[in-house]
Structure 1
């Protein structure tokens, strides 16, 4: 007997993991002493704030998937979602170290910074690859043509994020422009790439609404 999947439980688990990731970030602040008395506590607050809002941004992307997918869930979706949540738990920590190095709080060599960029981009790649594959899976399973095209659009949209992060990993691996933060600044290309993808997709499927 095939039992229906409960999307509510999947969303509840996901929200719990995001909340746990935020808790780990707070614990890592190390506020045993009054941060008002120590100058570097202000830098801790900045790196925490950036990491926190990136985490919230990822939660919004994840939340929007479930709004757009029409409630479709199967074991493939669950597998992609599980991998995504696994990566999210660790994703904020290389990001925090990267921010601290930019703020001068953590001393790091060029080789260490290149490794940090690679870890950051690997987390970015895995998260958005999972999101893209979830959209693609849902687009293939929905019987509503308009919704299927909408899901296909977002599958390709987030695939751009994954591809650009792969380029960032390659640049960091080759050591190109590390001192200038090139592996990070390359993400600026997300704006124009996603814009031109939307133009092309809407031209090919004019009745699609994003």
Structure 2
């Protein structure tokens, strides 16, 4: 397959996926995030490309909106502390890298945004199950068939694709971040 043909097909597939997004789920996510203001904390977790999305999301929805004095979410990406992650992974196992950071920290009505293309990453599932035991709200951000995370989520932003279509899924997950961020920027501009 030629580069041009591949590129055209990729864009077509991404466009099809974006046209299937359930906008009501995005509305539910925004309302859930807003319920945390001045009361609760938002945590975000993910591995690999999803870790980068978690960091980007915490930056946009935390610092980006706060700096503009639009909205102030108390939000942290648990993917960003490399010393903590590597110490936990080395000392007690990679499956504990998020669970250990959440243990005795996440509280009732806090929000955990768990990003996983497969929805089956052991470290994500362990953290989600613990958060649910603490009565936190789970926003799952999934791809492929959604895996276990889709079933455990209170709200699920799902990108239904064949397995291993990481690029398409991760593109759509980043677009979720930018939709939420841009919604608040646009809302603020319209209120001025």
Fold match by TM threshold 0.5: no
Q: Which structure: larger Rg?
A: 1
Give the number of the structure whose residues are more often helix, by fraction: 1
TM-score by length of 1: 0.29
